[in-house]
Amino acid sequence: MKIFIVQSEHFHVPGNPISLHATMEGAAREAADLVNDMLEWIDQPEDAKPETWEADLLRARTLRAEQMDCDLDELGEDDGDVWITEKEVEVPIIGKMLAMLDRIHGTMEEDLKNADQGEKDLFNEIGCLIAEAKGEYDPNAATGS
């Protein structure tokens, strides 16, 4: 099973957050969110997108260097960076957990016949997340983006 590991170093906030994702699309969404955090910190529009997060990161680092009155290559490695690492892992328990969640989700469908639209939307979103984690659903293909 492939997983995608997103890590970052913020301009100002200490630490190295790590998140795991079942798809590259999910990892790219997280990477764009992290770049937007950096853009916000340097008072720039938070317009990084999953499709362009790497270019958006370079733009954020360039703007940060300008603010610090230094060249881009003078920024430290820990001064604004986001990266995604793809790993192949053998974790049979993940497949079992996803199968169990899928079964639970399937048994709840009957209970939602009388639910309000908000509950139905949440139920559908959970189903999509399970399917995405199992590699059976691509949210970008469903929306055409």
67-105 pLDDT per residue, tens: 888 888 887 766 788 899 998 877 666 677 777 777 776
C-alpha–C-alpha distance, residues 59 and 52, integer Å: 11
Residue 20, H or E segment? strand 18-21
Q: Tell me the three state secondary structure of residue 26.
A: helix
> With contact defined as beta carbons under 8 Å apart, do 84 and 31 qualify?
yes
| DSSP conformational letter for 17 | -
pTM: 0.61
